[in-house]
Amino acid sequence: MEEVDDFLTATIARQVAAETAIHNGDAAPRLAMWSPNDPVTLFGAWVSRSGWDDVSRTFTWLGSKMSNCTS
């Protein structure tokens, strides 16, 4: 279980940092968490996208709509 715990500790820390960053207008950490290799699909509450170009463009757009942890 130590390997799983180590993985979860590192991944959750990266995820929290990525979510904070996108709420501060920086989509790069979130993009780094996702695989750019197809098939990649985003199923969102507002929009769904398929393919890295569309998914990354959506996250970049989302980041551009937020700053200082506000939307």
Query: What is the pLDDT, as a whole number, of residue 46?
Result: 82
Q: Which DSSP category does 24 fall into?
A: T
The residue assigned the tokens 């463009």 is 57
The residue type of 4 is V
Q: How many CA atoms are closer than 13 Å to the CA of 52, on its beta-carbon side?
A: 9
Where does the pLDDT of residue 5 fall: very low under 50, low under 70, confident under 90, or very high at 90 and above? very high
pLDDT in tens, 9-56: 999 999 999 999 999 999 999 999 999 999 999 998 789 999 999 999
